Structure 1
């Protein structure tokens, strides 16, 4: 493949990839930024979302319904996790790491038991964003453009939500200072439940949207969880805007290295994280 075509293909892949990473990482940033909980099971939520989505699609042959069911299950799992597992250990960082690590292990084991051979996504006629377009002699899947639209739309919606809605004001207030939020009458327990539900829902949806591009195996959530955890480190642990730009940076680095030197992908991803930690420990957009 000529260099120009290879570059174009890598750019399209990087934009689509960044959108998927952003969705998973945004959920992580919401949970950590609001609740100071580093949810190690977030990657398992991502993988579980992929498997549930493909399973529902096999059963219904309906893309939108599969997305909806996955989102609802993600919200329910998030609510149950916050109420039953996270709430008893608020303010206990070590206990939070232990219980979320235990949940991660449990979910990975569940995935291997229920789907031991993995799942391929069946691209049928009912898949509403199937097919290819040709750009400068490069065939690109329409679905990748769909992912770009989803990613940029999510960023726009998040920006509007944070600046224009009461929930956004409460979310920012809770992120900045729980005590101040309580003074202004914010129900912190309810806000935490909603925040964890939203973060978990985004992880499940991220897994659902990546499923049509790859074979759902147990390695899928491991790889994407590493990337998702890299985003808060690079962009800033409590920066919603930073999550977007860090996703673009990590997505482009990951995909370009994968195209030209795939054996170095993981090492370069780690190098980017370490470099940011050394040069700006609070993240590029952190304070």
Structure 2
């Protein structure tokens, strides 16, 4: 018989893992949704964010400052990548894939050279980062709740931004009809630069936010790269809300299977993606 404690643990872990997946995937969905650029380096940026954040935390012992520094570096890297690598090959999907694959390889090599043994997030007296709470007979780390809240807040913020603000209207207009958007005065070039930069910065921020739970290792970007690419397939390639719901689906399925059929491991995520591709190739939550 399944105990209430096991169910509670599975629910908390499912929500936590879903938030982690969403943080890894949302930048990729934004970039592809607006620009039709499938950035293969997105997972590497996610991993770089984890490494940079832990490094900054060792230097400053300040969580928010380390997050801010990581996000600012993400903005710079996103801007440089769009200008130097992506902009010259707009409209050339094969060149985009090859160039972002090359960038991904460079980032992985850089991370292995600078941090060959990975980085363990340090012990801290910060209650939100290292504290635990007792629910029934289950001891749960407080930071899991922090990640869950961040995931839902980010989803709410993105939904509001895209549906209720002028920036969101321009983004959706540029996505649906670029020529018409240009006629109405939307600067598509600036829009593309902003979207790509923001998407990369979100990837680094996502990596930073998961680092206190996962630490910074080279396996982190590899694992979350696969998950980030699975989310648009399951949720719909250009569906911003679909990315969130797909993250919940995969996150919960993964954690439940980990509790009851641990032998399947990461394969269950790929099985979900394959089933969706066969049953509904356009994604479960296509716009």
Q: Deviations over 1:139-159 (max 9, x none)?
A: 001000000110110111111
8 Å CA contact 2:50–2:211 kept in 1: the answer is yes
SS of 1:134's equivalent? Answer: strand
8 Å CA contact 2:127–2:142 kept in 1: the answer is no
8 Å CA contact 1:74–1:200 kept in 2: the answer is yes
Q: 2:87 is matched with which residue? A: 87
Mapped pair 1:101 → 2:101: yes
What displacement does 1:4 show?
A: 2.5
TM-score, reference length from structure 2: 0.97
SS of 2:38's equivalent? Answer: coil
Give the distance between the partners of 1:174 and 1:127, measured in 2 at CA.
44
Mapped pair 1:21 → 2:38: no
Give the distance between the partners of 1:286 and 1:242, measured in 2 at CA.
7
Q: Unaligned regions of 5+ residues in structure 1, if any?
A: none
What displacement does 1:202 show?
A: 1.1
SS of 2:134's equivalent? Answer: strand
Q: 1:133 is matched with which residue? A: 133
Q: Deviations over 1:81-127 (max 9, x none)?
A: 10100001100000000000000000000000000000000131246
TM-score, reference length from structure 1: 0.97
Give the distance between the partners of 2:252 and 2:128, measured in 1 at CA.
27
Q: 1:61 is matched with which residue? A: 61
8 Å CA contact 1:46–1:206 kept in 2: the answer is yes
Give the distance between the partners of 1:35 and 1:69, measured in 2 at CA.
26
Aligned residues: 287
In angstroms, what is the RMSD of aligned CA positions?
1.4
8 Å CA contact 2:128–2:146 kept in 1: the answer is no
Deviates more, 1:261-270 or 1:247-256: 261-270
Give the distance between the partners of 1:160 and 1:129, measured in 2 at CA.
28
SS of 1:182's equivalent? Answer: helix
Give the distance between the partners of 2:128 and 2:193, measured in 1 at CA.
33
Q: 2:146 is matched with which residue? A: 146
Give the distance between the partners of 2:111 and 2:131, measured in 1 at CA.
30
Shift >3 Å, 4+ stretches: 126-129
How do 1:157-172 residues align onto structure 2 when only pairs under 5 Å count? 157-172=157-172
Q: Deviations over 1:55-103 (max 9, x none)?
A: 0000000000000001101111111110100001100000000000000
Q: Unaligned regions of 5+ residues in structure 2, if any?
A: none
8 Å CA contact 1:44–1:221 kept in 2: the answer is yes
Give the distance between the partners of 2:77 and 2:158, measured in 1 at CA.
22
How do 1:187-226 residues align onto structure 2 when only pairs under 5 Å count? 187-226=187-226
SS of 1:140's equivalent? Answer: strand
Q: 2:48 is matched with which residue? A: 48
Deviates more, 1:246-255 or 1:46-55: 246-255
